[in-house]
Amino acid sequence: MATPPRPGFPARIDMGKTSPALGGRPVPRRPATPGSLPSAPASVTEGVGTAISARDPIPARARMVQQLAEGGVRDTQVLRAMGAVDRHRFVDSALVPQAYEDTALPIGLGQTISKPSVVARMVELLMQGGLRGADGRLGRVLDIGTGCGYQAVVLGQLASEVYSIERLRDLHEKARANLRPLRIANVHLILGDGMAGFAKGAPYAGIIAAAGGDAIPDAWIEQLAYGGRLVAPIAHGPGQQALMVVDRSRQGVQQTILEAVNFVPLKSGVA
């Protein structure tokens, strides 16, 4: 499926010398690690100050990161990842002005890109799971429900490898088109039914789902490494969903129900 090029954000801003792959971001001075986008402004790592907006070429994104921090996201790696990914490149042109608002946006076929605060919250929970390497990054991560690919790219900043699976062919292709210019080597897009997980990449340090069912499929637990963590929406009461965290150890699994959320349904089969 052909995807028209996204306008810059905002279109009139003078980006100076930019990487064609990243639109609005300056070319990094030091080489990026494989699969990583240029890092966000250093000020994010130093705490959240007003300096962020002055240094990010996309002020709306800097404001978004600042609001995430004010809203309780503490992990500086997560904040940096949220500040490094061009969310506006993952939505339709007409929605670009809203790309950095804390709102879910339609991505076609009745699906939505999750709001930034939910992405950051879930990714932060995943990162707190315990299987981080010495560099603070997670190992392999399974992302269920690629959608437009935004969250997969955020995860690509934080994990060694990301396997992202989508059941809708058109969205899988859309995500492919969105990721192509970014040339990210560690994010792998798969067309398939994520209910079965993706055994080839297992065991996973983390599994994260952007669609909610009545129960966590057994395959997800089986494919989670000991010490790994799963974060997913799950039915919790009539017509309600809550975020569930599952930690797997050799002793068994520990499940924790957190706040109410509102995700699209987890469905089976490829369509």
Residues that bind ligand SAH (CB under 6 A): 107, 111-114, 144-145, 147-148, 150-151, 165-168, 171, 193-195, 210-211, 264, 266-268
To ligand SAH, the closest distance from the beta carbon of 129 in angstroms equals 18
Q: Which of 39, 43, 114, 164 is catalytic?
A: 114
Question: How far, in Å, CA of 80 to CA of 213, rounded?
Answer: 31
Provide the minimum distance between the beta carbon of 113 and ligand SAH in the complex, in angstroms, as a whole number.
4
In whole angstroms, the minimum distance from the beta carbon of 208 to ligand SAH comes to: 8
Those residues whose C-beta lies under 8 Å from the C-beta of residue 175, and which sit 6 or more positions away, are 146, 147, 148, 149, 152, 164, 166, 189
| CB of residue 112 to ligand SAH, shortest distance in Å | 6
Q: Which residues face 229 on adjacent strands?
A: 206, 247
Q: What are the start-end ranges of the H helices in the chain? A: 51-55, 59-70, 76-84, 116-127, 150-156, 169-179, 218-222
Q: Which is nearer to ligand SAH, 19 or 114 (CB)?
A: 114
Nearer to ligand SAH, 48 or 96 (CB): 96
Compute φ and ψ for 217, nearest 5 degrees: -60, 140
Q: Which is nearer to ligand SAH, 30 or 200 (CB)?
A: 200
Q: Which amino acid is at 169?
A: R
Based on the residue annotation, tell me whether 114 is a catalytic residue of this protein. Answer: yes
* ∠ Cα 125 240 150 (to 5°): 45
Q: Closer to ligand SAH by CB, 23 or 43: give it.
A: 23
Instruction: Point out the residues that are catalytic.
Output: 114
